[in-house]
Amino acid sequence: MAGKFELYQDKGGDWRFRLKAGNGEVIATGQGYASKSGAQNGIDAVKRNAADAEVVEIDG
């Protein structure tokens, strides 16, 4: 089963998304957006940028 983006409205009225793996585990979440279209734009940005994103280790 392929992963999926879930688009939903939280209790405060913000639109959010989460990316779930094929096994149902949440592997990424988006910030709160004022509009549904804003959250959809966030999903599109993840789709466009994730494949080529560099992995950077941060010392903490």
pTM assigned to the model: 0.85
Whether residue 3 contacts residue 23, with contact meaning beta carbons closer than 8 Å, is answered with: no
User: Position of tokens 């094929």?
Assistant: 22
Report the distance separating Cα 4 and Cα 55, nearest Å.
Answer: 22
pLDDT digits (tens, 9 = 90+) for 4-31: 999 999 999 999 999 999 999 999 999 9
All structural domains of the chain, each given as residue ranges with its CATH number in brackets, are 4-48 (3.30.160.160)
Question: At CA 37, angle to CA 49 and CA 15, rounded to 5?
Answer: 95
Which amino acid is residue 44, in one-letter code?
D
Report the distance separating Cα 2 and Cα 36, nearest Å.
Answer: 23
Higher pLDDT, 45 or 51: 45
